[in-house]
Amino acid sequence: MRVRLGERRTPKLTSTLTIVPPSFSNEFHSTTEESAIWNIDAIKEAQDYVNLIEHHVNQLLERSRQIIYRLFIAGDSDYITREELYLADTQYKEEKRKAIERLAYQLDIAVEK
């Protein structure tokens, strides 16, 4: 099961009936505690991922960093980003492609054809 990064988990509120008889041991089992621990771990994992992305974006060249930030973090459109950076259409497309490639290589997620 794939879970979205940073998604919270809640404990079960109703009991579950099974055919298998319960096993008796000295272990304590609490779905509430398991959910709380899972949520803390998920938040830590999400923060680590954000820090990793931020670190690699900050290593890019200034123009590449501006393009990545405006497109993917601020949510600006290609048109607005291109106009604010005073770039021609073909030059902007080339800079955007290079910025995304550089970031992908830094994050080690680049796919080569």
Global pTM? 0.65
Tell me: the pLDDT tens digits for 30-59?
777 888 888 888 888 889 988 999 999 999
Dihedral sign for Cα 84, 49, 3, 39, please: negative
31-107, CATH topology level: Arc Repressor Mutant, subunit A (1.10.10)
Tell me: the pLDDT tens digits for 16-33?
666 776 666 666 667 778
The two three-digit tokens of residue 72, written as one number: 């993917």
